[in-house]
Amino acid sequence: MMNLLLLSAVINNPLTVIPTPTHVSMGTGSFELNAKTVVVADGLTEVVAKQLRAYLQPATGFELKSKRTAKSNRIAFFTTHDPQLGLEGYRLKVDHEGVGIWANSASGHFYAVQTLRQLLPVEVFGARRTKQPWTIPAVEIVDKPRFLWRGLMLDVGRHFFPKKEVLKFIDALAMHKMNHLHLHLTEDQGWRIEIKKYPKLTSIGSMRKETMAGHYSDHRHDGTPHGGFYTQKDIREMVAYAEKNHITIMPEIEMPGHCQSALAAYPDLGNTGAQLPVRVDWGVNENVYNVDDSTISFLKDVLTEVMALFPSQFIHIGGDEVPKKQWKESPHVQDLMRQRGLKTEEELQSWFIRQMDAFLSSHGRRLVGWDEILEGGLAPSATVMSWRGTKGGIAAAKAGHDVVMAPTTYTYFDFYQSKSIATEPTAIGGFLPLETVYAYDPVPAELNAAQAKHILGAQGQLWSEYIPTTDHLEFMAFPRTCALADAVWRAPGSTNFKGFRDRLTTHLMRLKAMGVNYRNPTIGSQAAVGTWRSGQISEHWTPHVWDLTSSFNKAGNYALTFQYTSGEHRLDIDGIEIEADGVIVATDGHRGRTGGEDVQNVYRVRLAKAYKKVLIRAKVRADGGSDSNGELYVVRER
Interacting residue ranges for ligand ACM, rule: CB under 6 A: 320-321, 370, 387
CB of 384: closest distance to ligand ACM in angstroms? 12
400 residue type, one letter: G
- Nearest residue (CB) to ligand ACM, 464 versus 470: 464
d(CA 251, CA 230): 12
CB of 321: closest distance to ligand ACM in angstroms? 5
- Nearest residue (CB) to ligand ACM, 246 versus 316: 316
CB of 11: closest distance to ligand ACM in angstroms? 46
Residue of closest CB approach to ligand ACM: 320
d(CA 458, CA 482): 13
d(CA 353, CA 311): 21
Residues 6+ apart with CB under 8 A from 550: 529
CB of 588: closest distance to ligand ACM in angstroms? 32
- Nearest residue (CB) to ligand ACM, 24 versus 382: 382
Prior bond of 256 cis (ω within 30°): yes
Write out the DSSP string of 109-174. HHHHHHHHHHHS-GGGGSSS-----EEEEEEEEEE--S-SEEEEEEETTTS---HHHHHHHHHHHH
CB of 465: closest distance to ligand ACM in angstroms? 11
Please report, in angstroms and rounded to a whole number, the separation of the first and last CA atoms in the chain.
Answer: 53
d(CA 350, CA 342): 10
Write out the DSSP string of 434-479. HHHHHT--SS-TTS-HHHHTTEEEEEEEE--TT--SHHHHHHHHTT
CB of 283: closest distance to ligand ACM in angstroms? 10
Q: Quick check: helix, strand or coil at residue 581?
A: coil
- Nearest residue (CB) to ligand ACM, 459 versus 481: 459
**Rg, C-alpha atoms of the chain:** 27
CB of 391: closest distance to ligand ACM in angstroms? 14
Q: According to DSSP H, which parts of 363-441 are helical? A: 391-398, 408-411, 434-438
- Nearest residue (CB) to ligand ACM, 281 versus 320: 320
- Kind and range of the H or E run holding 416: none
- Nearest residue (CB) to ligand ACM, 92 versus 322: 322
- Nearest residue (CB) to ligand ACM, 200 versus 388: 388
- Nearest residue (CB) to ligand ACM, 415 versus 478: 415
For residues 138-176, b (16+ Cβ closer than 10 Å) or e, as one string?
A: ebebbbbbbbbbbbbbbbbbbbbbebebbebbbebbbbb
- Which residues partner with 95 through β-bridges? 98
Cα angle 407, 412, 415 (rounded to 5 degrees) comes to 135
State phi, psi for 422 to the nearest 5 degrees. Answer: -60, -30
- Nearest residue (CB) to ligand ACM, 198 versus 387: 387
For residues 451-471, b (16+ Cβ closer than 10 Å) or e, as one string?
A: beebbbbbbbbbbbbbbbebe
CB of 257: closest distance to ligand ACM in angstroms? 9
CB of 262: closest distance to ligand ACM in angstroms? 17
- Nearest residue (CB) to ligand ACM, 143 versus 465: 465
- Nearest residue (CB) to ligand ACM, 19 versus 407: 407
CB of 485: closest distance to ligand ACM in angstroms? 21
The dihedral region occupied by 98, where left means phi > 0, alpha psi between -120 and 50, and beta the remainder, is left
CB of 13: closest distance to ligand ACM in angstroms? 39
* Sign of the dihedral defined by the CA atoms of residues 396, 397, 403, 408, in that order: positive
CB of 20: closest distance to ligand ACM in angstroms? 29
Q: Quick check: helix, strand or coil at residue 549?
A: coil
- Nearest residue (CB) to ligand ACM, 392 versus 530: 392
Q: Helices then strands (H, E): number in the chain?
A: 18, 29
- Nearest residue (CB) to ligand ACM, 252 versus 345: 252
CB of 284: closest distance to ligand ACM in angstroms? 8
- Nearest residue (CB) to ligand ACM, 376 versus 592: 376
- Kind and range of the H or E run holding 38: strand 38-40
CB of 36: closest distance to ligand ACM in angstroms? 53
Question: Residues, the chain, total?
Answer: 638
